[in-house]
Amino acid sequence: MNSGIGAGLTNGPSARGVPLAIAGVVLLLVVVELIGRLGLAGPSWPPLSVVLEYLTTPSAQRVLGRAVTATASAAVLGFVLGTLVGVALAVLGSLLPAFGPGLDRLAAVVNAIPLIALGPLLINTAGRAATPTLVAALAAGFAVFVAATSALAAASESQRDVFTVLGAGRLATLLRLRLPAGLPLIVDGLTLAAPAAVLGAVIGEWFGAPRGIGVLLVSAMQNFQANLLWSAALSASVLALAGYLVLLGVRRAVERRFT
C-alpha cells in the first residue's frame, strides 16, 4: 500500500463525480433487483425489495439488531486494539531503527496467514467470545502498521535536518515532527482498517461466536433462509461502509489541520 492508493481511496468522489457515483449505485441496485425478480440466479437470490420488506418485520429487526450490535462492538474494539498495536509497533520501529526491518517482515508473515486459518486457532486459545475482536484487530492492525510505518518517515529531509541541528532527541523528533507530520497518512491507514475490522469480526464469528452477523450468515445459509442471509450480508456492508465514511470525515479534518 502506498500513499497514492490511500489517497485515491480516501479523497472521495470529486464534486463532478458525485452524480456519476449515484448513478452507478442506482444501476447496481436495479440490476440486483432484476436478477431477483426474474429468478435468474435461482431461489437463493431474492429481489432486493423483498429483502428490504423482510427487514421491516419486528422479528427480523430483533435478530439483526442483536447481531449487528455484537459485530459492531467486536469490530470497534478490534479496530481500536489493532490501531494501538499497529501504531505502537511502527513507533517502536521508528525509535529503534534496528528493529524496523524485522518488524516489517514479522507483520508481512502474520498478514500472509489467512484469517480463515487463524480462526480455529484463536477459538481454541482465546475462546469463542474473544475471537471476533482478535481477528478484527489483526485485520485492522496490519493496515495501520503498514500505513504508520511509512507515515513516520513522511517528514521532509530538511525538516529532519533542522531537528537534528537543533539537537532534538529521538523522542522529541517523534512527538514534535514524525507523528504530527505522519498523522494524515496514519488516518489514511485507519480509513482502510475500519472496513477490514468489520470483515475480520464477521470472519471471527464464522467459527462459532455466541452471536453476530457471521453467526447469522452461517445459520441462514444452512437453513436456506435467503432473506435473512441477504439481510445479514447487507448489514455487514452497511457497517463497513459506515466505518469508512466516519474515518473519511476524520481524515478531512486532519488534512485541514496538519498540512
CB of 149 to other proteins, least distance (A): 21
Closest CA to 36 of 23, 24, 48: 48
Q: Which is nearer to other proteins, 35 or 95 (CB)?
A: 95
Q: Which is nearer to other proteins, 16 or 256 (CB)?
A: 256
Q: Segment contacting other proteins (CB under 8 A): 141-149, 167-175, 187-195, 196-204?
A: 167-175
Q: Which is nearer to other proteins, 160 or 211 (CB)?
A: 160
| 176 binds other proteins per the rule CB under 8 A | yes
CB of 164 to other proteins, least distance (A): 6
Q: At what angle do helices 58-95 and 179-206 cross, to 10 degrees?
A: 140
Radius of gyration, CA atoms only, the chain: 21
What CA–CA distance (Å, rounded) separates 174 from 184? 15
The letter for the amino acid at 170 is R
| 100 binds other proteins per the rule CB under 8 A | no
Identify residues 132-161 at the interface with other proteins (CB under 8 A).
156, 158-159, 161
| 223 binds other proteins per the rule CB under 8 A | no
What CA–CA distance (Å, rounded) separates 79 from 138? 9
CB of 181 to other proteins, least distance (A): 8
Contacts of 64 (CB under 8 A, 6+ apart): 55, 216, 231, 232, 235
| 99 binds other proteins per the rule CB under 8 A | no
| 258 binds other proteins per the rule CB under 8 A | yes
| 164 binds other proteins per the rule CB under 8 A | yes
Q: Which is nearer to other proteins, 44 or 156 (CB)?
A: 156
Reading the block at residue 151, the C-alpha cell is 507515515
CB of 182 to other proteins, least distance (A): 11
| 163 binds other proteins per the rule CB under 8 A | yes
Report the sign of the C-alpha dihedral through residues 96, 106, 190, 188, in that order. Answer: positive
Q: Segment contacting other proteins (CB under 8 A): 45-53, 117-125, 141-149, 251-259?
A: 251-259
Residue count (the chain): 259
Number of residues that bind other proteins (CB under 8 A): 19
Q: How many CA atoms lie within 13 A of 24 on its CB side?
A: 6
Q: Segment contacting other proteins (CB under 8 A): 6-14, 125-133, 175-183, 233-241?
A: 175-183
What CA–CA distance (Å, rounded) separates 159 from 155? 6
Q: Are 200 and 139 contacting, i.e. CB atoms less than 8 angstroms apart?
A: yes
Q: Are 209 and 75 contacting, i.e. CB atoms less than 8 angstroms apart?
A: no
Which residues form the interface with other proteins (CB under 8 A)?
A: 156, 158-159, 161-168, 172, 176-177, 180-181, 257-259
